[in-house]
Structure 1
Amino acid sequence: MTDEASTAGWDAIDTAFSELYGEQEPKHYGTAIPYALGGPDPLDGISAYKVEHPTPHWHFVTYGFSELYDKETNDPAHSGYGFELTFRLTRTEDETEPPAWALNLLQNMGRYVFNSGNVFRAGDYLDANGPICLGSDTLLTALSFMEDPDLEQLSTPNGTVDFIQMVGITGREMEMMQTWNTRGFLRACEAFMPKYVTDLMRNSYVDIPSVAQAVQRGIELEGSSTAFLFIQQLAWTPSRKRMLQKNVPAELQFGAKQAVLIGKILRSRIAKGAPLSLIGSGVNVTFEAGETPSFHEEENQVTVTVNAEAVNELAANLKPSEMTFEIPSLRGMLFRIVRTEITDQEGQVVETIG
């Protein structure tokens, strides 16, 4: 005879929400076939609570990023990945069931984490490369992550669990987060988005004067918190010497979609003496502050030293269009911006930039 499996992790999540919502019985959506046995959904379950304040919305919570049953990992401090996701989504008065797309989105977050090993922490962001609700005309095409304002860290027999709230954002809002930081931007928007409730129908907040001013002040005081950018179209071609001919300069290439953003973040980082690393497939390029512009290449790592003049010259040329250019203060180096094709989940090109 064997003992029944512990449900201490699951029970701890239930307790946290019962303290928040009393006797309310949530809508719960379990997984019929476990992911480990070939089931399509990685999370064991998702619950949704009906909330009235500050605006009617669903409050979702996942079960499965943390260890819900017996302890399995070797990390005693954290339960599983150390977090569960929450998500707040506006709800109409006549809505009795949460929308299926939101449940699918949370399961997709599970697939991303389980397949990549990358975890979500407060302050993170993720480009969805399209509407977070597939088929809708929402402007929300990215996700950001913040501490859930109503839920503190859990201590369970399997370790600690943080409740990380997923928040739908626009592409321009994500750029502002990258240029400054996620927490600062979301707090600047809190008056317009209390509890960080996601509303598919809202407009972008970036043009609201109080938000724009907060971002500008934050950038000036703190710079950008983005130390790394993952660039799909990043490429580096080393300089080459030719007999009896002019040497061929080294070439740094990236896509048109991220060209302007790189310039903005670079200005913000270098102004505070902080480096910026571009991470690509097979090559990393790090920009660092220095008095004399230069570059150094060593295997798959390139270090580019820039001063304020070089940054201004570079940023002025970083535009979302195909082009090749050099900057006077950084000799022997060529910059190439190539076209970016954005595809949907079926691989069809839905937008071309450049």
Structure 2
Amino acid sequence: MPSLEDWAKGTFAATAGLSTLAVGLLYYGQSYLIYPSAFPPGSRTEVPTPDQYGLPYHHVELTAQDGVKLRCYLLSQAKKLPLAGATDVPFSGGLNDDEFAATRPTVIMFHGNGGNVGHRIPLAKVFYVKMRCNVLMVSYRGYGLSEGNPSEKGLKLDAQAALDYVKSHPALSQGPTVLYGQSIGGAVSIDLASRNPSAIDALILENTFLSLPNLIPSALPALGPFAFLCHQKWDSASKIHQIPHMTPVLMLSGTQDEVVPRDHMLGLWELVQKRDSKSASSVERKQKPSPRGSVPAVAIDVRSSSKFLEFPEGTHNDTCVQPGYWAAVAEFIGDLIHHKASNSE
């Protein structure tokens, strides 16, 4: 099976060549452009499963509020994982597997706009094996084997169905809930957190954007003057302030991103900081040299534990394999677990 790096290099760049499309297609056919669920070819029928990567899992069929069925994957933790490289968790004592799973964070994964949920299994494996998180891999409507057709309204319903499932689950509901979103999945995560402010414990956002209309001038320069025709808004910039300040956000930005310009992630980070009126005095910036393979540059909001990291060599699809990426995610998850444990004492 492909490695994490092979997957990153092979991910389809959904926005390539869109600048040749007519303005009429921007308005009437934009759902096909924004949600290319059939690409790469075979994505609607050939969906890898976690067991192909040696991972135990459950098929989970969620039903969104409008009746659309979503075929998702759940990787639920067990006290002992017979997997190479699995991290040991101390003090698990005499807990059974369900009780152990209840002590671990649950990561809800929202993927980008190309491919299907199966293409992201290498990412889920890191959360599951290295960080010992439960993982719910969400398959949007119109993607993979899920029913329906994708749209902003529909994906919002899908995300809510996933969160409701986690919060009603006897084990998953007990630990912290973390949203992990890449590209458009970041917009899905921000929207879900803004509508469920008390239900989300943390967000991890990679290479996402301020809004889709704001993205058009750079993604489709010829159509920039017609950005107002974009009815799929995903206006993350207007929703950050609805997420509680004490909900930490980890932002991971590839500075060589050819799809989402760096300014979008910087703009979102500025809005994260503004959630606190004292953010200007509580921000500590640490800049380090950024040759290839270096530790990423970091900005930290000390009060909220939110962090912004830049990866100098990261592009839209390979930021997740840059040096320091998963170490930063693991540290963020570890801090969240420690914070939750301290508050419960």
TM over 0.5: no
Q: Report which structure shows greater RCO (CA 8 Å, sep ≥6).
A: 2
Between Structure 1 and Structure 2, which shows a larger proportion of strand residues? 1
Larger radius of gyration between Structure 1 and Structure 2? 1
TM-score band, normalised by the shorter chain? Answer: 0.3 to 0.5
Between Structure 1 and Structure 2, which shows a larger proportion of helix residues? 2
TM-score (norm 2): 0.36
TM-score (norm 1): 0.35
